[in-house]
């Protein structure tokens, strides 16, 4: 069958006249070659069809299936986002009850909204540093026992910061109740290839639907992802149909080739590349373990067996700078751009494409920055979470236009039409349809005093839209 990229390149050289989409017509005389017009085609004869794959695209899906050991793997070009929307809708009916980790990505909340779902929330453990830890399987058991009508368990593992939950224990419990488990493993497409983490990976732990962004932690272009299924609790045809709703009908061949290239690299050179990567990570963590004030989460995390060391979380809470300031210094003075920064930490993402010099550059920068920092007593924020009362569903709140904007501190007892978030811990303080209470107003004030930015759906904070 061959490789998609090679076939696209060969096709370009065969000089076919493209009387079809895309409109650039591979005219590089007019457009130049800075962008890959030459291999950007649509579903023409011989190039298969993502939504009815039977040829060269099916071949890529089969490669993914074999590498990850799933029953069926779908390749995605609209990121994990479309996989999460499709995966959830493939299992639930409108209005169903679902068990959801409260620290899920917004795509999960969007699925809750459009399917009118009734979410029962599980809270992650929160570290003293405010960073989310795992979802405890005991909570899954409790909630499933209390709510016999739950139709799906949804959680994120690993988290953005690299914390992995015990999916095997969670799946064992959920399956006892015949409930499937969907794991948002957007940050874990590489786990399977990391020594010590293979059996912590969601598919290997028995999850029914697993969605992984290839572009986040593996060498693949932005927007590429995989959706895997296994077992009998999820129907392949339902997933395929939902993907045809949530994913573009004009999938990029460049992105699909990138998925295949990524899978080929893993298959052909994965062992060697991951070995080198893990050695580099070991070297990094060892070099920074004696920093006095800047602390790295991986060196301090309680459960090292359930942690992805590829996420380098640099904590600044014992220093006189914020995570954001650290990230600014690294950018301006060392030309190192991090993935994200928060009040108390900044996050560097790494992959098999980082060589030893990259790690050395970061080590060197952190050691130099550390020397110029003052030690500060750690402020202990209260990150405890009390779930607010739900009055109406997210969907009902979003669709209710009888609403008004008011200052947050005048809103006790009112139903929010917006999400209110803070990072960390990235858990919504409130979702649309929940009631703003004293505790939330006090929390917003507390976060404000420590300089933590409060974000809202419509970006008008301190004003928040509420139902009249
Ligand atoms: C935990 C988590 N899930 C899902 C997504 C969505 O992934 P994608 O950007 O591939 O659509 C993200 C993106 O940041 C994420 O962090």
Residue from 90, 221, 220, 226 nearest 151 by CA? 90
pLDDT above 70 coverage of the chain, percent: 99
Residue 10, sorted as left (phi over 0), alpha (psi -120 to 50) or beta, turns out to be: alpha
Which atom of ligand 1 is nearest to 82's Cα? 11
Question: Using CA atoms, how far apart are residues 188 and 216, in angstroms rounded to an integer?
Answer: 8
CA of 398 to the centre of ligand 1 (A): 22
Closest Cα to atom 16, ligand 1: which residue? Answer: 160
Read off the pLDDT band of 379 (50, 70, 90).
Answer: low
Which of these ranges, 250-254, 284-288, 331-335, 385-389, has the smallest mean pLDDT?
385-389
Does pLDDT of 377 surpass 80?
Answer: no
The best mutation among 74, 84, 107 to test binding of ligand 1, ranked by most ligand atoms within 8 Å of the C-beta, falls on: 107
> Tokens for 466?
């509420």
On whether the CB atoms of residues 133 and 162 are closer than 8 A, the answer is: no
- In this predicted model, what pLDDT tens digit does every residue of 221-245 receive, in sequence order? 999 999 999 999 999 999 999 999 9
Ramachandran region of residue 372, left (φ > 0), alpha (ψ -120 to 50) or beta?
alpha
| pLDDT tens-digit map of 97-126 | 999 999 999 999 999 999 999 999 999 999
Calculate the alpha carbon distances from 413 to 310, 416, 418 in Å. 43, 9, 14
Full DSSP string of 363-381: HHHHHHHHHTPPB-PPP--
pLDDT band for position 384 (cuts 50, 70, 90): confident
User: Which long-range contacts link 110-115 to residues 24+ away (Cβ below 8 Å)?
Assistant: 110/85, 111/84, 111/85, 112/394, 113/394, 113/395, 113/398, 113/432, 114/85, 114/89, 114/395, 115/88, 115/89
Is 284 a residue whose pLDDT tops 70? Answer: yes
Can you tell me the distance from the alpha carbon of 242 to that of 102, in angstroms, rounded to the nearest whole number?
24
pLDDT at 334 exceeding the cut of 80: yes
- Name the residue of 75, 76, 80, 202 to mutate for ligand 1: max ligand atoms within 8 A of Cβ: 80
| 349 DSSP assignment | E
Give the rounded distance of the alpha carbon of 384 from its chain centre: 23
**According to the model, what pLDDT value does residue 61 have?**
98
Is the predicted pLDDT of residue 383 greater than 90, yes or no?
no
Please tell me the distance from the alpha carbon of residue 336 to that of residue 362, in angstroms, as a whole number.
8
| Cα-based distances in Å from 416 to 91, 116, 399, 401, 457 | 28, 17, 12, 12, 11
Does the pLDDT at position 219 exceed 90? yes
What residues have CB less than 8 Å from 437, skipping those under 6 apart?
A: 388, 389, 412, 413
- Pull the structure tokens for residue 32: 């130049």
Closest ligand 1 atom to 81 CA: 11
Please tell me the distance between residue 364's alpha carbon and the centre of ligand 1 in angstroms: 30
* 271-371 belongs to CATH 3.40.47.10: no
In 3D space, the residue among 388, 428, 432 whose CA is nearest the CA of residue 412 turns out to be 388
Please tell me the distance between residue 106's alpha carbon and the centre of ligand 1 in angstroms.
Answer: 8
Calculate how far, in angstroms, residue 1's C-alpha sits from the geometric centre of ligand 1.
Answer: 32
Query: How far is Cα 350 from Cα 42, in angstroms, rounded to an integer?
Result: 33
C-alpha–C-alpha distance, residues 171 and 135, integer Å = 12
Q: How far apart are CA 59 and CA 253, in angstroms?
A: 14
Q: Which pLDDT value is given to residue 424?
A: 74
Q: Would you place residue 74 in the very low, low, confident or very high pLDDT band (cuts 50, 70, 90)?
A: very high
**pTM here?**
0.97
Instruction: Please give the torsion angle defined by the CA atoms of residues 83, 88, 93 and 98, in that order, rounded to the nearest 10 degrees.
Output: -170
Minimum-distance ligand 1 atom for the alpha carbon of 104: 1
CA–centroid distance, 45 to ligand 1, in Å, is 33
pLDDT in tens, 128-147: 888 999 999 999 999 999 99
pLDDT of residue 449 exceeding 90: no
Domain boundaries, the chain: 4-265, 271-371, 394-467
| C-alpha neighbours within 13 Å on the C-beta side of residue 94 | 2
Residue 403 Cα, ligand 1 centroid: separation in angstroms? Answer: 30
Checking if the pLDDT of 20 tops 70, the result is yes
Q: What is the Cα–Cα distance from 223 to 93, expressed in whole angstroms?
A: 28
Cα of 37 from ligand 1 centre, angstroms: 27
435 vs 433: CA distance, rounded Å: 7
Which of 12-16, 426-430, 456-460 is the least confident region? 426-430
Q: Output the CATH code of domain 394-467.
A: 3.90.105.10
Residue 276 reports pLDDT greater than 80: yes
Residue ranges lining ligand 1, Cβ < 6 Å: 79-81, 105, 107, 156, 160, 184, 186-187, 213, 225
Q: Is the pLDDT of residue 452 over 90?
A: no
* Inter-residue contact 144 to 170 (CB < 8 Å): no
How high does pLDDT run on average in the chain? 95
Q: Is the pLDDT of residue 382 over 80?
A: no
**CB of 150 within 8 A of CB of 70?**
no
Is 285's pLDDT higher than 90? Answer: yes
443: buried, middle or exposed (CB in 10 Å: 19+, 13-18, 0-12)?
A: buried
Q: Are 206 and 175 in contact (CB under 8 A)?
A: yes
Residues 135-192: tens digit of each pLDDT? 999 999 999 999 999 999 999 999 999 999 999 999 999 999 999 999 999 999 999 9
pLDDT higher than 70, residue 380: no
Domain 4-265, what fold?
3.40.640
Whose CA is closest to atom 9 on ligand 1? 79
Centre of ligand 1 from the C-alpha of residue 372, in Å? 35
User: How much of the chain, in percent, has pLDDT values that exceed 90?
Assistant: 90
Residue to mutate, 82, 183, 189, 213, ligand 1, most ligand atoms under 8 Å from C-beta: 213
Six-digit token string for 422: 């803070």
3-state secondary structure labels for all residues of 251-293: CCHHHHHHHHHHHHHHHHHHHHHHHHHHHHHHHHHHHHCCCCC
Top mutation candidate among 77, 81, 423 for ligand 1, by most atoms within 8 Å of CB: 81
Q: How far is the CA of 357 from the centre of ligand 1 (A)?
A: 28
Mutation test residue for ligand 1: of 75, 78, 79, 165, the one with most atoms within 8 Å of CB = 79
Q: How confident is the model at residue 446 (pLDDT cuts 50, 70, 90)?
A: confident
Residues 344-366 have a mean pLDDT of 97
pLDDT of residue 2: 86
What is the CA(87)–ligand 1 centre distance, in A? 14
- Please give the distance, rounded to the nearest whole angstrom, from the Cα atom of residue 214 to the centre of ligand 1: 10
Residue range 388-434, pLDDT digits in tens: 999 999 999 999 999 999 999 899 999 999 999 987 778 899 999 99
């Amino acid at each position: 069958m061959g490789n998609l990229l090679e076939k696209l390149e060969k096709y370009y050289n065969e000089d076919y006249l493209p009387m079809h989409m895309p409109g650039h017509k591979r005219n590089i005389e007019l457009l130049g070659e800075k962008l890959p017009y030459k291999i950007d085609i649509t579903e023409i004869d011989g190039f298969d069809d993502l939504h009815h794959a039977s040829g060269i695209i099916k071949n890529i899906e089969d490669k993914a299936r074999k590498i990850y050991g799933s029953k069926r793997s779908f390749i995605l070009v609209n990121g994990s986002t479309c996989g999460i929307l499709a995966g959830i809708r493939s299992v639930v009916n409108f209005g169903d009850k679902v068990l959801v980790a409260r620290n899920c990505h917004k795509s999960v909340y969007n699925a809750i909204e459009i399917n009118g779902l009734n979410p029962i929330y599980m809270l992650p453990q929160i570290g003293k540093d405010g960073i989310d830890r795992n979802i405890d399987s005991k909570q899954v058991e409790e909630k499933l026992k209390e709510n016999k009508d739950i139709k799906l368990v949804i959680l994120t593992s690993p988290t953005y910061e690299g914390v992995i939950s015990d999916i095997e224990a969670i799946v064992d419990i959920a399956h006892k109740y015949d409930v499937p488990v969907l794991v948002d493993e957007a940050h874990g497409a590489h786990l399977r290839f990391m020594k010590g983490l293979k059996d912590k990976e969601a598919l290997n732990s028995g999850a029914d639907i697993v969605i992984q962004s290839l572009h986040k932690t593996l060498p693949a272009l932005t927007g590429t992802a995989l959706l895997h299924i296994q077992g009998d609790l999820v129907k392949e045809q339902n997933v395929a149909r939902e993907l045809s709703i949530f994913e573009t009908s004009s999938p990029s061949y460049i992105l699909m080739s990138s998925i295949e290239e990524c899978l080929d690299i893993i298959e052909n050179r994965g062992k060697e590349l991951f070995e080198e990567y893990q050695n580099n990570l070991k070297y990094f963590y060892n070099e920074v373990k004696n920093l006095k004030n800047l602390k790295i989460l991986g060196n301090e995390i309680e459960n090292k067996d359930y942690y992805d060391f590829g996420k380098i979380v640099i904590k600044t809470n014992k220093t006189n700078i914020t995570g954001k300031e650290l990230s600014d210094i690294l950018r301006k003075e060392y030309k190192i751009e991090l993935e994200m920064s928060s009040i108390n930490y900044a996050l560097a993402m790494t992959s098999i494409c980082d060589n030893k010099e990259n790690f050395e550059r970061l080590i060197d920068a952190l050691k130099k920055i550390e020397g110029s920092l003052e030690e500060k007593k750690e402020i202990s924020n209260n990150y405890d979470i009390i779930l607010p009362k739900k009055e109406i569903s997210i969907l009902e709140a979003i669709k209710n236009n009888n609403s008004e904007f008011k200052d947050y501190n005048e809103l006790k007892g009112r139903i929010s039409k917006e999400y209110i978030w803070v990072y960390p811990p990235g858990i919504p303080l409130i979702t649309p349809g929940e009631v703003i209470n004293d505790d939330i107003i006090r929390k917003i004030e507390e976060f404000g005093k420590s300089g933590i930015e409060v974000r809202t759906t419509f970006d008008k904070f301190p004003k928040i839209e509420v139902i009249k």
